[in-house]
Amino acid sequence: MNEWIIPFSMLGIADVGKVGGKNASLGEMFQTLLPLGIRIPDGFAITAEAYRFFLQENNLVEEIASSLEKLDRKGFTNLRQVSAELKTMILEASMPKGLADVIIESYRELSGQSDRDLEVAVRSSATAEDLPGASFAGQHESFLNIKGDEELLKKVISCFASLYNARAIKYRFDKGFDQLEIALSVGVQRMVRADLGSSGVIFTIEPETGFQNAILITGCWGLGENIVQGAVIPDEFMVFKPALEKRNRAILSKKAGSKSKTMVNAKSGGVVNLDTTPELQRQLVLADDEIEVLGRWALAIESHYQMPMDIEWAKDGNDGQLYIVQARPETIHADKDPYLVTEYSLTESSELLTSGYAIGNGITSGQIKVLESADESDLLKEGEILLTEITNPDWDPVMKKAAAIITTKGGRTSHAAIVAREVGALAIVGAENALEKLQTGDWVTIDNASGKIGKVYSGQLHWTEMQHNFRGMSLPKTKPMFILADPEKAFGLSFFPNQGVGLMRMEFVITKTIRIHPMALVHFDQLENQEDRTQIEELCQGYSDKKEYFIDKLSQSVATIAAAFYPKEVILRMSDFKSNEYAHLIGGSQFEEQEENPMLGFRGASRYTHERYQEGFTLECEAVKRVRESMGLTNLKLMIPFCRTPQEGKKVLELMRSLGLIQGDNGLEIYVMAEIPSNVIQAMEFAEIFDGFSIGSNDLTQLTLGVDRDSEVLGELFDENNPSVKWMISEVIRVAKAKGKKIGLCGQAPSDRPEFAKFLIAQGIDSISFNADALLQGIQNMVEAERE
């Protein structure tokens, strides 16, 4: 080691001033995490002192200061000219012989005196880089698959010059860094042959909401620059930290991206981007055990640094091993208070034009401006919506002008996504058909407030905004809980004041994610409709057993909601489709009979033990077992809907027991919906069978009053405040309390009507569940009712 070269094995996080954040972090991991079994490719750092020596030997210090003095620091009108001038003077300078000798000597040592040139990655590492609050994402250059003495020295000088990239100069001004105080170190690291394997990015925090218990892993085939640059839509894997810690099954979700390009090493050095074969586009880049290994490594790295981290991983196609090649602090949520929330809600609707991954929470409207490259950035006016194929760091200065950014490529860990979060801009990435659907001048509204998927609507729509501060907010003694269906909203909603989920609707997942009738998967070979068979084959790609498709997709969605609210109770209602709704699923028409009155027909508990659906219910139970037993999410409880008689309830529980879902095992509780008058009249008998009740006020009201809840003609008669309905509710609460059973209610009335909330609380109800948009008003009504 000398003042110019320090091997990773002798670096630590305290050396940021010597080797920059990136190299200091690599050295820190190499020393402390390698012994834990986390593989880090070896390498060395060319220090900031070496960079300063390079400038002095070439008499560049005063020239750089003089050039920077010319910079227009208000409008930055000459930023590119000043940048070009600075970079040219560095690139035309020569590497001092003494410095060149020690770099080549260290490169030879890293090669192990091999008779061939070692392939290395050459990466810039500025002395202010990768600090909490300033990511410097993509501001400086990196070079992959570099080999040979001469090429290495050239790339080191190119890294030095990249300190004065236009985007980097502007970024430092925006962040308040002294231009002349920042120096540049260069990391030289053994190349992992990810060009023959795969690579990607890990966030140890859910990047959109700041949810702490999830790890997001993205991946593509070949070198990870395609993900960082946003050139591909990658695979996404979400992993649950508490499950990793307990060595349980930890994968919450898996989503295949298109991965249209694969970046590989070129024979002559450098890299080339190739089209990915259709087979590899469909195939996930990581197996389940690899996802969990990366998850455990990410957890260890986060634990070591004591902060959320942004990590790059690679899988070597030669040795089949996983490696960590970079780690830096996650900069977006470091200073954010997750309990300060702004709620956005569209009040109008129009044609949905395109969609992609939502970056940032909010709604905005503006005119589209299509640009092909950052060279056209002067054409973008303040408040326009930038639409382009892909962004790179050259776009950074213009991103602040845009009302929002839409890219047709990229994922949630791409450059566009990271910078959009950092500057507080809304973005939609991976909107693959946006350039076909939109053109310059189109007025659109972007909705990034409805979950993980951002939507672009035609025209200027109106919306509402409401700010909340949940920190220290007083909650009622009666539990306020969510009615929830969409897993994509779960992480964000977990920060709202709540005591868990009183009703998770399984039907939403089956309709939106699975889309196939479960019996069509069980009896696929008997399907008569060829179009249904084709659609099912397409959806089930990657699953050798079509039943596993249903179990896997359902368990992922249920686990996501259970994990979001863990360890609070999440009550999953088993499927409650009516026969006409089941018939609309792919392959469903063959397994459903037409009924005159599906509302009162073959639904709920009756289906579960019937030969026409029992095999489908078995799949539902297998998914639940995976969530509770394999993943350890025992906060998941179950609920049986539309159970007409106690005998029917007993049959369902016996079937569930035979399938391995046994009341009391690992705290499993099974509730029954109180939504039929018989549930109230025979409440004592139902209480002997089930662990509690959930009052379904909509069905109970319509069946008590004999009013179709969907009837426009009889709408005025549908009223939860009717004395008959209130007697039903009061009576089932009385019985539940007498039998020591839990009881809650799911419905809109307690938020719409303060007097109804007061009535429920006076009866001693344990919990009230609300739709997300009604939760806060509901809590206010509950608090006031308890106060009275």
CATH 3.20.20.60 intervals, the chain: 473-787
pLDDT the model gives residue 368: 96
746 labelled catalytic: yes
CATH 3.30.1490.20 intervals, the chain: 5-191
pLDDT surpassing 60 at residue 130: no
DSSP line for 696-736: EHHHHHHHHHT--TT-STTGGG--TTSHHHHHHHHHHHHHH
| pLDDT tier at 129, thresholds 50, 70, 90 | low
Beta strand 404-407 pairing with 385-388: parallel
pLDDT surpassing 60 at residue 361: yes
Q: Which of 332-346, 685-699, 728-742 has the lowest mean pLDDT?
A: 332-346
Report the distance separating Cα 582 and Cα 388, nearest Å. 41
Q: Which of 335-349, 540-554, 770-784 has the lowest mean pLDDT?
A: 335-349
Helix 149-161 and helix 79-91, axial crossing angle in degrees, nearest 10: 150
Report the distance separating Cα 769 and Cα 767, nearest Å. 7
333 labelled catalytic: no
| pLDDT tier at 131, thresholds 50, 70, 90 | very low
Report the distance separating Cα 75 and Cα 588, nearest Å. 62
Task: Let me know: does 454 contact 447? Beta carbons within 8 Å.
Answer: yes
What is the 8-class DSSP label of residue 339? T
Token pair listed for 16: 């940021």
| Residue that has been written with the tokens 């039998």 in this structure | 739
293 exposed, middle or buried (CB, 10 Å; 0-12, 13-18, 19+)?
Answer: middle
From 220, 621, 643, 746, the catalytic residue: 746
pLDDT tens figures, 37-69: 999 999 999 999 999 999 999 999 999 999 999
Task: Let me know: does 766 contact 716? Beta carbons within 8 Å.
Answer: no
pLDDT surpassing 80 at residue 143: yes
Residues 6+ apart with CB under 8 A from 409: 230, 231, 232, 233, 260, 389, 390, 429, 430, 432
Report the distance separating Cα 293 and Cα 286, nearest Å. 10
Report the distance separating Cα 21 and Cα 182, nearest Å. 12
pLDDT surpassing 60 at residue 136: no
364, 308, 303, 299: which is closest to 333 by C-alpha?
Answer: 308
pLDDT tens figures, 5-28: 999 999 998 999 999 988 999 999
Beta bridge partners of 95: none
The HSE-up count of residue 403 (CA atoms within 13 Å, CB side) is: 19
Task: Let me know: does 734 contact 726? Beta carbons within 8 Å.
Answer: no
Average pLDDT, the chain: 92
| pLDDT tier at 174, thresholds 50, 70, 90 | confident
pLDDT surpassing 60 at residue 133: no
Q: Which CATH class is domain 5-191?
A: alpha beta
CATH 3.50.30.10 intervals, the chain: 340-468
172 Rama class: left (phi>0) / alpha (psi -120 to 50) / beta = alpha
247 exposed, middle or buried (CB, 10 Å; 0-12, 13-18, 19+)?
Answer: exposed
pLDDT the model gives residue 46: 97
pLDDT the model gives residue 708: 82
Token pair listed for 628: 């509770």
Q: What is the H or E stretch that residue 619 is in?
A: helix 614-625
Rounded to an integer, the average pLDDT of 429-440 is 94
| % of the chain exceeding 70 in pLDDT | 97
Residues 6+ apart with CB under 8 A from 674: 680, 683, 686, 693, 694, 695, 696, 700, 732, 743
Q: Which CATH class is domain 473-787?
A: alpha beta
Rounded to an integer, the average pLDDT of 212-230 is 93
**Main-chain dihedrals φ then ψ at residue 565, nearest 5 degrees:** -110, 5
Task: Let me know: does 101 contact 53? Beta carbons within 8 Å.
Answer: no
195-329 belongs to CATH 3.30.470.20: yes
pLDDT surpassing 50 at residue 457: yes
pLDDT surpassing 80 at residue 323: yes
pLDDT tens figures, 223-246: 998 998 888 999 999 999 999 999
pLDDT the model gives residue 115: 62
CATH 3.30.470.20 intervals, the chain: 195-329
Report the distance separating Cα 429 and Cα 227, nearest Å. 12
pLDDT tens figures, 728-773: 999 999 999 999 999 999 988 888 889 999 999 999 999 999 998 8
Report the distance separating Cα 264 and Cα 221, nearest Å. 9
pLDDT the model gives residue 178: 82
**Main-chain dihedrals φ then ψ at residue 320, nearest 5 degrees:** 70, 10
Task: Let me know: does 708 contact 599? Beta carbons within 8 Å.
Answer: yes
Report the distance separating Cα 471 and Cα 321, nearest Å. 44
pLDDT tens figures, 87-127: 999 999 999 999 999 999 999 999 886 667 899 999 999 88
Rounded to an integer, the average pLDDT of 300-316 is 95
Task: Let me know: does 211 contact 47? Beta carbons within 8 Å.
Answer: no
pLDDT surpassing 70 at residue 688: yes
Report the distance separating Cα 634 and Cα 568, nearest Å. 10
pLDDT the model gives residue 604: 95
**Main-chain dihedrals φ then ψ at residue 637, nearest 5 degrees:** -115, 165
Q: 542 or 653: whose pLDDT is higher?
A: 653
pLDDT the model gives residue 21: 87
Q: How many residues does the chain have?
A: 788
Report the distance separating Cα 234 and Cα 223, nearest Å. 12
From 140, 333, 415, 517, the catalytic residue: 415
Cβ-based neighbour number of residue 533 at 10 Å? 16
Q: What are the residue ranges of helices labelled H in 471-512?
A: 490-493, 506-509
pLDDT the model gives residue 334: 60
Q: 340 or 757: whose pLDDT is higher?
A: 757
Helix 48-57 and helix 149-161, axial crossing angle in degrees, nearest 10: 90
pLDDT surpassing 80 at residue 335: no
What is the 8-class DSSP label of residue 148? S
Q: Which CATH class is domain 340-468?
A: alpha beta
Alpha-carbon distances, residue 658 vs 606, 617, 641, 688 (angstroms): 17, 12, 20, 20
| Residue that has been written with the tokens 């569940």 in this structure | 769
